[in-house]
Amino acid sequence: MLLEKKVQVGDIIALKLVSGNELIAKLVSASEYVMIISKPIELGMAAGGGVGFGPFMLGAPEEVQMTIDKSMIVTFVKARKEIKDAYIESTSGIVPVGAGSVPDGLIKS
């Protein structure tokens, strides 16, 4: 069994909220009761069966840091590589090395 390192500050993470929303964000900090994330993007199904990104909060600035109460989080993990690379490209315009490996149709902009 492969054991992965725990999520650390600075990691790009995937969070599943009790509302059913799935977010991709950068972890800024975490305490016993809250998690602070930056540049949250909602992950969802896109037309054609792919995965798409959308704003988590339409009225929030793109560069925002948000505090989320941990009681509202079902689970969180490091985002898988394809999603992490697409998130970095989407939020910064930087294309990570090897990012061309995203399967066709996985990410819809």
H or E segment at 68?
A: strand 65-69
Domain definitions of the chain by residue range:
12-94
Distances (CA, A) of 57 to 31, 60, 62, 101: 23, 5, 9, 29
Cα–Cα distance between 85 and 90 in angstroms, integer? 9
The per-residue pLDDT string of the chain (109 residues; one tens digit each, 9 = 90 and over) reads 555 678 999 999 999 999 999 999 999 999 999 999 999 999 988 888 888 898 899 999 888 899 999 999 999 999 999 999 999 998 887 887 765 555 555 655 5
Domain spanning 12-94 has what CATH number? 2.30.30.100
Letter string b/e over residues 51-89, b meaning 16 or more CB atoms within 10 A of that residue's CB: bbbeebeeeeeeeeebebeeeeeeebebbeeebbbbbbb
Per-residue confidence (pLDDT) for residue 50, from 0 to 100: 82
The number of residues in the chain equals 109
